[in-house]
Amino acid sequence: MSDSVLVTSDDVRTRFSRAMSEMYRAEVPQYGTLMDLVATVNADVLASDAGLRARLERTDDLERIDLERHGAIRLGTAEELSTIRRLFAVMGMAPVGYYDLSVAGVPVHSTAFRPVRDENLAKNPFRVFTSLLRLDLIEDPKLRDEAGSILARRRIFTDRALAMIERHERNGGLTSDEADLFVREAIETFRWHGEATVDAETYRALATAHRLIADVVCFKGPHINHLTPRTLDIDAVQAGMPQRGIAAKDVIEGPPRRACPILLRQTSFKALEEPILFRGEDGATPGTHTARFGEIEQRGLALTPKGRALYDRLLASVRDEGRAGADFTGRLARAFEAFPDDHDEIRRQGLGYFRYVLNDARPAHAPRNPAGTTMEDLVAGGYVAALPIVYEDFLPVSAAGIFQSNLGGQEQRAYAANANQTAFEADLGVSVLDPFQLYAETEARSIAAVRAALWQAA
């Protein structure tokens, strides 16, 4: 009987994210070093900031913090994209958001697979930023066709992984043994392969069109290219990286350091130059490929469309002056003085999303007039606390900066902006979820729960 009990998708996701972390630690030793550094910094922050510790405990972030990470892959075909959607569905991860990176000179568009509900995010918010190569952006028709036919020949999923995906779809879940098998087989898709599927000449032609095209087209599968732990103090990790022999990127992407962190700040270490073997007429030819790197991130408050517009405007104002210019960090900090750095003020201006929860210690009687009582009244009256909702998504400008730093800064292609969400969704097989709507629903559910507890309780 117990053999046929289905495990939760949260459970499968946690097993998978653990297995992925172990694999990446074994494959990329700097990742292990970075994980250790992040663990040390997080422990220091929690030990020295009791207020933060208590807040994280209350928002369920404390439990997930050591588990928390995201990865990224780059796919080649529509079929790969729609199958990966089904694979992530086994782990309770759905596609959220559409990112057009062609504006940043990278010939891909992307979504992020992640859990969407509070209770699932609290268990383990594992996410995978998933990009699809846009062959239509390869100018040379011959090269485009060649890339297309190389991709059409490869199979990136094992038969057993496909069988487990189908079983999940048929039975609405997997048993514990099936879940273990699924994880073991699914991991194969993300593994690094030291042998290219093409000869050195084909690799060079594709890499000349764009290094990212070669990375997607020339290998057996979409190797995970980074795995990113979440830190509570990204500046401390950034400062600690050189001491541990890790070459950090020079600027942290995203907003400046603030008392109330917003959205997402990220930094990375440069991609490794790794030995690979090309196919050759008479045996393999040795060469190198650069794809895999390490990244860390610090997450803050999810912003409303109004808050996000302000963020985008402030960031653009600094970037337009040129990021190479003197004192980027100082200019960024000064520009962001226009963004309130206080949760009450952010809430009053409608710039961020909050989860409302009843205070344990609160006045004995609820206010008399439910309809006339706002959430702000309840906060002011000591009935409820407004907890910041964590941003669970990505930032296209930051993603582009991360891509660029790993292309050695040499790839400055200019593709005309040509977002094509419709084509992406057709390839994916479903529409992507709107991140703003998800945050708004989380906030609305918390408000409904507070109101029910205050006014409908028997």
Instruction: Give the one residue of 161, 303, 399, 450 binding ligand OOG; rule: CB under 6 A.
Output: 399
Asked if 197 touches ligand OOG (CB under 6 A), the answer is no
Phi/psi-derived region of residue 60, left when phi > 0, alpha when psi is between -120 and 50, beta in every other case = left
Strand order, beta sheet including 108-114: 94-100, 108-114, 127-133, 69-75, 226-229
Asked if 398 touches ligand OOG (CB under 6 A), the answer is yes
Q: Which residue has the tokens 């006339």?
A: 372
Asked if 394 touches ligand OOG (CB under 6 A), the answer is yes
Site for ligand OOG in 19-58 (CB under 6 A): none
Query: Which residue's CB comes closest to ligand OOG?
Result: 399
Q: Give the DSSP H/E element, type plus range, for residue 267.
A: strand 264-269
First-to-last alpha carbon distance for the chain, in angstroms, is: 40
Asked if 308 touches ligand OOG (CB under 6 A), the answer is no
**DSSP structure class, residue 137:** G
Q: How many residues bind ligand OOG (CB under 6 A)?
A: 12
Q: Which does 131 bind (CB under 5 to 8 A by kind): ligand OOG, Ni ion, none?
A: ligand OOG
Q: What single letter denotes the amino acid at residue 180?
A: D
Q: In angstroms, give the least distance from the CB of 394 to Ni ion.
A: 7
What tokens appear for 387 in the block?
């907890």
CB 165 within 8 A of CB 1: no
Only segment of 342-350, 395-403, 429-437, 442-450 that touches ligand OOG (CB under 6 A): 395-403
Asked if 192 touches ligand OOG (CB under 6 A), the answer is no
Cα dihedral across residues 99, 100, 103, 106: positive or negative: positive
Asked if 289 touches ligand OOG (CB under 6 A), the answer is no
Q: In angstroms, give the least distance from the CB of 254 to ligand OOG.
A: 10
Q: How many residues bind Ni ion (CB under 5 A)?
A: 2
- Helix 9-27 vs helix 176-190: angle between axes, to the nearest 10 degrees? 40
Only segment of 39-47, 56-64, 294-302, 328-336 that touches Ni ion (CB under 5 A): 294-302
Asked if 134 touches ligand OOG (CB under 6 A), the answer is no
Asked if 403 touches ligand OOG (CB under 6 A), the answer is yes
Asked if 14 touches ligand OOG (CB under 6 A), the answer is no
Asked if 74 touches ligand OOG (CB under 6 A), the answer is yes
What is the DSSP track for 352-364? B-EEEEE-SS--S
Q: In angstroms, give the least distance from the CB of 73 to ligand OOG.
A: 7
Beta bridge partners, 295, equal: 268
Q: Which is nearer to ligand OOG, 120 or 131 (CB)?
A: 131
CB 327 within 8 A of CB 315: no
CB 114 within 8 A of CB 127: yes
CA–CA dist 416, 29 (Å, integer): 38
Q: In angstroms, give the least distance from the CB of 297 to Ni ion.
A: 7
Asked if 133 touches ligand OOG (CB under 6 A), the answer is no
Q: Which does 74 bind (CB under 5 to 8 A by kind): Ni ion, ligand OOG, none?
A: ligand OOG
CB 346 within 8 A of CB 352: yes
Contact residues for Ni ion, defined by CB under 5 A: 228, 295
Contact residues for ligand OOG, defined by CB under 6 A: 72, 74, 129, 131, 225, 266, 295, 394, 398-399, 402-403
